[in-house]
Amino acid sequence: MQQLEQDIKALIISSLALEDITPDDIASDEPLFVKGLGLDSIDALELGLALQKRYGVTLSAESDEVRAHFASVRALAEFVTAQGKA
């Protein structure tokens, strides 16, 4: 899980072109959207695409669960693991 979280942090940084930040600067349980890292809705779409390409996971845009999965790096890592894709 530790390595998966690190990989997801690196994926966030590369797919969203975040500047001046390393994976170690992202706390696994900090909010990703609005607060914390401060990502927005376009970032959500871009990150969803990056996760699909990297891990083959798909997130339905309609699902209420999506918000919970995207809450933090840890939540994303748990989702990817649960999908059997890690």
CA count, 13 A, side-chain hemisphere, 37: 30
Out of 9, 11, 12, 43, the only residue in the binding site for another protein (CB under 8 A) is 43
What whole-number distance in Å separates Cα of residue 4 and Cα of residue 46? 19
67 binds another protein (CB under 8 A): no
Question: Which one of 24-32, 49-57, 60-68, 73-81 is the stretch in contact with another protein (CB under 8 A)?
Answer: 49-57
Q: What is the chain's alpha carbon radius of gyration, rounded to the nearest angstrom?
A: 12
38 binds another protein (CB under 8 A): yes
66 binds another protein (CB under 8 A): no
46 binds another protein (CB under 8 A): yes
